[in-house]
Amino acid sequence: MTAKRQILVTNALPYANGSIHMGHLLGYIQADIWVRAMRSMGHDVIYVCADDAHGTAIMLRAEANGITPEEQIKGVQVEHERDFAGFGVSFDYYDSTHSETNRKHSEAIYLANHKAGNIAVKPVTQLFDPEKEMFLSDRFIKGTCPKCKADDQYGDSCEVCGTTYNATELINPRSTLSGATPVEKTSDHYFFKLPNFTEFLQKWTRDDGRLPVSIANKLDEWFEAGLADWDISRDAPYFGFKIPDTDDKYFYVWVDAPIGYMASFENYLTAHRPDVSFDDYWSPDSTAEVYHFIGKDIVYFHALFWPAMLTGANYRTPTSLFVNGFLTVNGEKMSKSRGTFIKAETYLNHLNPEYLRYYFASKLSDKVEDSDLNLDDFIAKVNSDLVGKVVNIASRCAKFINTQFDNKLSATCAEPELVNKFIQAGDSIIKHYESREFSTAIREIMALADLANQYIDDKKPWAVAKENPNSKEVQDICSVGLNLFHKIMVYLSPVLPTLAEQSKEFLNVESMNFDERFNVLTHSINEFRPLMQRIDPKKVQAMVDDSKENLQPTDTKKAQKSKEESKPMENTDQNTFIGIDDFAKVEMKVAKVLECNHVEGADKLLQFTLDVGDTDEQGEKQTRNVFSGIAKFYKPEELQGKTVICVTNLAPRKMKFGISEGMILSAEKDGQLTVVILPDSMVAGAVLA
């Protein structure tokens, strides 16, 4: 028996500005499986998380929704907690970074670093929106690239030539919030002196087991370039915590977000564990373990800024960072038009969450690798492994024990060596869980399932029962089979907690912790009920369909009518008329042509990459792919960089060459098509009335 360890686990904090989707769930399910496995080993694990609730984006979203930021984040937190619970993610406490406890710790850590000489104040020149009366971050500024002169580029880098620059270097910059021309304005900003911690961080990132080697190697690029002071302040208006001793300066969201780990932990202790001391986990001499499960896109904050802030304020640093890659679906980036940008809520409306938990576990390792949710493979793996192998063991054996032996298992084990082999296999499987080699653990568990099914196939209890229904041999065979199923479910319990709980009730055992594997079952069981159904491919398709953006300009019932029922009325000169109500449903937006190219194998088509102002749940810019049959009238270079009109709420059209996600507006006269081109000053995404 290993010594009981004191462990604190956190997940990256989801931003309180959008819904949880499959890409998010990869990291949370990974952490939850590890937490459950460590608890199953007998360790004291506290698992906390919180919504990341500050920043300009949340302030603007609340403004757009006509509510306060506090109301905005409260509503999103309820949704997030519901979705995590739906997938069995077992947080002990789910908090918000907008808490007085987090304010207290943020101010204390800042003041400690200020006293230690780790804070500097410098004037910063930024672009200021005179209409919104606010400084603009790079994501809210667009203009012409100072190097290649490409239009409609964001304030930090050019997507055409790849150049990075300061927003003040943009030519003809404009605010994406108001369309106004921003002005330069100087303001004092507060900086954390990250270079003060260079030597410490170089050693810290290379400590054995602290970071994945690939991440540590990547961080070397920062050290080679030289660490720079980190701007930790933002000017009002801003939703967040004010910096002590200032009137209009706020902590940048990435200051108080990781401190939220500490605040959530303390709030949990106050509510549920008064026997545990905050300092036992966060003092510099703490022997407790602290682990952060994060995505690879936020490593720099967690591996450089966060440990430096903690050290500067005389707190301990994380034991390790566990880093996961991104999620693709069917080998491609998640897409709203293809229906593969799947929200947690949409999944739960159609499918058992444990299907996804199992599939992710079968893919995950301790490597920083991207994972792919291939929907066909997902269906095949779950149906084959969980239903065809694991649950099949129980269903094949239970009916004989229930109906012919009064629910009683054999008093002695007929195959002690085989059962012991399954028990001993746990040593390796548990080690794989601890090292986060989940895919290896799953392979070994499924190998046991194959052995169990082979045993049943060889012994053929149905054939023996046909000759003698009450034969003790039948009871012995099925008792062995259910013992093997019991061990398998013990090993799968961190991945499939609901199925494990159902199996615990069926097998009439008190626990499914790892030590339970040593228990050879010889008692009475309960009546078997179906444990898991096969995935119906139609339900997966329905989930995908429900995940597609609703781009239809007409209602669902009209869209489902047959062609005969929905044939348009025609007048005598064959022109088609629609009512003003239908026309009002057509949405037209200003679109910037980022790319325009010929389509190989289609002489009439041009392929456009358009910016119509779309963003994903995190506010990152999303482009649209549109095909237009105007190659006869235009060369690609004639439309590259132009501002056009795109009809954006048409249903995506699947074509031989790809998906078309809209229509470019043009006018026809005497057989000549002319694209409607707008002035370059028009803002992408603006809706045209």
pLDDT in tens, 467-492: 988 899 999 999 999 999 999 999 99
Alpha carbon distance 459, 479 (integer Å): 12
In terms of Cα–Cα distance, which of 546, 657, 293, 382 is closest to 373?
382
- Dihedral of the alpha carbons of 246, 249, 254, 255, in degrees to the nearest 10: -10
What pLDDT score does 399 carry? 93
pLDDT at 158 (0 to 100): 82
Please state which of the ranges 203-217, 415-429, 610-624 shows the lowest mean pLDDT: 610-624
Question: In CATH terms, is domain 6-111+252-325 a member of 3.40.140.10?
Answer: no
Residue 413 labelled as part of a binding site: no
For CA atoms 154, 160, 163, 168, the dihedral sign is negative
In this predicted structure, the answer to whether residue 632 has a pLDDT above a threshold of 90 is: no
Task: Return the CATH class of domain 372-518.
Answer: mainly alpha
Contact 393, 538 (CB under 8 A): no
Please tell me whether 596 is known to bind a ligand: no
CB contact at 8 A, 263 and 102: yes
Position 2 scores a pLDDT of 65
Q: Work out the pLDDT band at 64, boundaries 50, 70, 90.
A: confident
pLDDT band at 586 (very low <50, low <70, confident <90, very high): confident
pLDDT digits (tens, 9 = 90+) for 255-294: 999 999 999 999 999 999 999 999 999 999 999 999 999 9
Q: What percent of the chain lies above the pLDDT cut of 70?
A: 92
Q: How far apart are CA 357 and CA 265, in angstroms?
A: 26
- Does the annotation flag 478 for ligand binding? no
Average pLDDT of the chain is: 90
| Token output for 577 | 């008329």
The rounded percent of the chain whose pLDDT value lies above 90 is 72
134-138, 553-557, 569-573: least confident range? 569-573
Average pLDDT over residues 668-688: 78
What residues does CATH 2.40.50.140 cover in the chain?
572-688
Residues 320 and 314 sit within 8 Å (Cβ to Cβ): no
Q: Does pLDDT of 686 surpass 70?
A: yes
Q: Which of 65, 116, 120, 111 is nearest to 242 (CA)?
A: 111
CA angle 476, 427, 281 (to 5 degrees): 130
Q: Where in the chain is the domain with CATH 1.10.730.10?
A: 372-518
Pick the closest to residue 541 from 360, 684, 346, 679 (CA basis): 346
Q: 399 labelled as ligand-binding?
A: no
- The position carrying tokens 């008064």 is 274
Strand, helix or coil for residue 571? coil
Sign of CA pseudo-dihedral 231, 235, 238, 241: positive
336 marked as binding residue? yes
Predicted TM-score (pTM) of this structure: 0.79
Chain centroid to CA 186: 37
Q: How far apart are CA 658 and CA 665, in angstroms?
A: 20
Tell me the CB-side half-sphere exposure of residue 440, using CA atoms within 13 A: 15
Which single residue is written with the structure tokens 């510099």? 284
Ranges in the chain annotated CATH 3.40.50.620: 6-111+252-325
Q: What is the mean pLDDT of residues 315-342?
A: 93
For 572-688, give the CATH class: mainly beta
633: its two tokens: 């009238």
